Each structure stands twice: as C-alpha cells, then as structure tokens.
Amino acid sequence: MIANSVSPLTEPAEVRRAPTVGGAMLYDASRAGNASVDLFDPGYWRTRHAASHARAGRGQALYVDDGVRHWVLRHYLRGGLFAALFGDRYFWNGEARTRPFREWRLLHELRAEGLPVPVPVAARYRKRGLIYRGDLITERIVAAQALSAWLDHGPVPAQVWRAVGACVRRFHDRGVWHADLNAHNIVVDAQGAVSLVDFDRGRRRAPGAWRAANLERLRRSLDKIDRGLPRGRFGASEWRLLVEAYGST
C-alpha cells in the first residue's frame, strides 16, 4: 500500500494531444516525454518487471515502477449493474466526454488550484463504432496509504480524522464532487497529509445537498469496513472528529 510522491505544483505541464490508431492520447510531455501507446499496455511494463497489482477500486489498476516512473495505470471498467453487461465498454459521445479525458482534465485543473490530487500523466481512448475503451495514468502519492488500510492496521489517530474532514471540506468549498467518496479513495501519508484519488465521473457542482450526500456516502463506506474489523476502529467518536473538522474549516 505504500505509494510514491506527488510531484511539486510548481512544475509546469506541457499538455499535448496526439492521435492514435482508433483514438487519441492526452498527456503531459514534461512527465511522459514523447508518449506512446505502449505506456498504456500492462504487458509492456510486465516484460520490464515494472508492474504490480494495485488495490481494488474503480477500474483495473497497476502500479508502475521502473526506477524512474512511479505511476498508477488504470483501465476503465464499469461498476454496478452495468458491469456484467458492458465491462470496459462505454458509449461514444464525443472525445471531450470520454471518461479518461474528462478525468485527466479535472485532475489537471485541481492540481493547478493547489488541491491534493494525483498528478495526471496521460490518458487515452480507443474507439470502435459507437463504443470506446479508456485508460488513465497518474503519478503515485508518497508513502501514503488509503484510509481503509490505516483502519486495517489499527486505530486511526484523531489528527488524521480531523485532516480527512478538513480535506473533504476544501474540495466541497471549490464545488468539487467526488463520485465515489469512500475510505479507499482517501489516502494519507506518513505526515498525516490527506489527498483524494480516483476522480472518475467527478465534476464541479453548484452548492447544494450533494455535499451532505457525499459525506453520508463516506460514512456508509466507513461503517461497512468497520464491520469486518476489531472493535474500536471506527464509530461515533471518530465520525464526530471528522465532521467537526469539516464544519470548522
């Protein structure tokens, strides 16, 4: 579960778009160089002994570490009721609306605003008829574990619960809705700094009831995880710390 560093915000991005066979790539040349479609191929990294399985989550993910790059490569997969029917296939509605391009651009925007999210490296889609498939590469986050992993290891310090609440509030104040806010998509590094990951379907929204619903989604996630853990890992007192920090930010 240990991750690598998010690059400094001061490093300027060199955003480029390149056509590919059946689709296109969007990438930051300052991080991906002269990107090729090989970067999105798990087999390419496995033959170089640079790939390992990442945690379960939205889509299929690999950790890439070749000594220079410390990335997460995620192939988009449907969840819920559509998973069995459509798998990794999405209906085409224009390049700008493809999931990888939308997530890449949102991450790029949030990073520019100083919000703690992974650095977007590259995104691509492959289109065939009215169907497309997609992939996203982001940088990993230094010495960080998901909040769910912290819970699995033992009681989470009070300052971490407060930091989580304050972090979520920062995003909500900027009108950022995380479509799958749960304990797996909140990561905390060794110094207690909190980031949010996996912004598939995330978007900007006007202030409204979605904020409370977002928090309730997180609460359900924590309750579900807690049911499989020893007593005392998560409960009313921990949730109160998080909500108080959210409200006082």
Active site positions, annotated: 180
CB-based burial label for 88 (10 Å; 0-12, 13-18, 19+): middle
DSSP, collapsed to helix, strand or coil, labels residue 166 as helix
Q: Rounded distance, CA 170 to CA 245, Å?
A: 11
Among 103, 96, 109, which residue's Cα sits nearest to residue 72?
103
Tokens of 219: 């609460």
CB-based burial label for 123 (10 Å; 0-12, 13-18, 19+): buried
Q: CA of 127: how far to CAs of 12, 38, 130, 163, in Å?
A: 30, 17, 7, 41
